[in-house]
Amino acid sequence: MQSTSLTVNGRAVSVSADADTPLLDVLRNHLGLVGTKFGCGAEQCGSCMVLVDGKPEKSCGKALSTVAGKTVVTIEGLGTPDKPHPLQQAFLDEQAGQCGYCLAGILISAKALLDRNPSPSRREIAQALDDNICRCGSHPRILRAIERAARHMREGEAR
Ligand code: FES
Ligand code: FES
């Protein structure tokens, strides 16, 4: 057991856990950030996606030691119920989900996409979600929601 320091959602944290503890377990069990979901546990479904230094990564397969000193953003770091991120608002507006289990991971992948490409084509959005599975088949509404968020974010910047 050792202590590992990292930044999570803008807050410096120090976690006492074995170096090979999956980041997903650290987030959910040590830090109480249960928005990030355990799906397959085998880096196949994307429900555990978080941003590590701005890049989408599957937290179920990432050892704590590999994120020492890095910056992690989870779904809780995107927005709040009072002030949702434009992506979260667009997902609500489009009702882009059924059970919702995949959505935290999908929102994280979508944020990474819009951060690097504010005006993605539908094909680019689909490619960015290649690692995210939605078992409910909500993909058409998810794609529409990401397009809507991108549009709103561009309009917001133009004002
Ligand atoms: S739980 Fe990590 S990819 Fe499925
Ligand atoms: S909304 Fe159920 S898995 Fe995507």
Task: Render each residue's pLDDT in the chain as its tens digit; 159 residues.
Answer: 789 999 999 999 999 999 999 999 999 999 999 999 999 999 999 999 999 999 999 999 999 999 999 999 999 999 988 999 999 999 999 999 899 999 999 999 999 999 999 999 999 999 999 999 999 999 999 999 999 999 999 998 665
Helix (H, G, I), strand (E, B) or coil at 50: strand
Angle between helices 103-116 and 86-93 (to 10 degrees): 130
Q: For residue 59, which of 116, 131, 11, 141 has the smallest C-alpha distance? A: 131
Phi first, then psi: what are they for 40, rounded to 5°? -95, -30
Q: Which ligand is nearest to the CA of 59?
A: 1
**Pocket flag, ligand 1, residue 44 (CB < 6 Å):** yes
**Gyration radius (Cα) of the chain, Å:** 16
User: Cα–Cα distance between 75 and 111 in angstroms, integer?
Assistant: 10
Predicted pLDDT at 159: 53
CA of 104 to the centre of ligand 2 (A): 10
Predicted pLDDT at 158: 61
Q: For ligand 1, what atom is nearest to the CA of residue 24?
A: 2
pTM over 0.75: yes
